[in-house]
Amino acid sequence: AQSVTQPDIHITVSEGASLELRCNYSYGATPYLFWYVQSPGQGLQLLLKYFSGDTLVQGIKGFEAEFKRSQSSFNLRKPSVHWSDAAEYFCAVGATGRRALTFGSGTRLQVQP
Amino acid sequence: DTGVSQDPRHKITKRGQNVTFRCDPISEHNRLYWYRQTLGQGPEFLTYFQNEAQLEKSRLLSDRFSAERPKGSFSTLEIQRTEQGDSAMYLCASSLGTGEFQAQYFGPGTRLTVL
Q: Which of A28, A11, A42 is nearest to A93 (CA)?
A: A28
- Distance (Å, rounded) from C-alpha B108 to C-alpha B62? 24
What is the model's pLDDT at position B51?
92
Q: Is the pLDDT of residue B99 over 80?
A: no
Q: Which of A63, A32, A37, A61 is nearest to A49 (CA)?
A: A32
Q: Is the pLDDT of residue B1 over 60?
A: no
Asked if A4 reaches chain B (Cβ–Cβ under 8 Å), the answer is: yes
Asked if A80 reaches chain B (Cβ–Cβ under 8 Å), the answer is: no
What is the model's pLDDT at position B46?
96
**B34 in Cβ contact with B47 (< 8 Å):** yes
Q: Residue A50: how many CB atoms within 10 A of its CB?
A: 21
**B76 in Cβ contact with B90 (< 8 Å):** no
Higher pLDDT, B91 or B72: B91
> Per this entry, what is the length of chain B?
115
Q: What is the mean predicted confidence (pLDDT) over A79-94? A: 96
**A100 in Cβ contact with B58 (< 8 Å):** yes
DSSP secondary structure code for residue A70 in this structure = G
Find, in chain A, the residue whose alpha carbon is nearest to that of B50: A99
Asked if B88 reaches chain A (Cβ–Cβ under 8 Å), the answer is: no
Q: What is the mean predicted confidence (pLDDT) over B11-35? A: 96
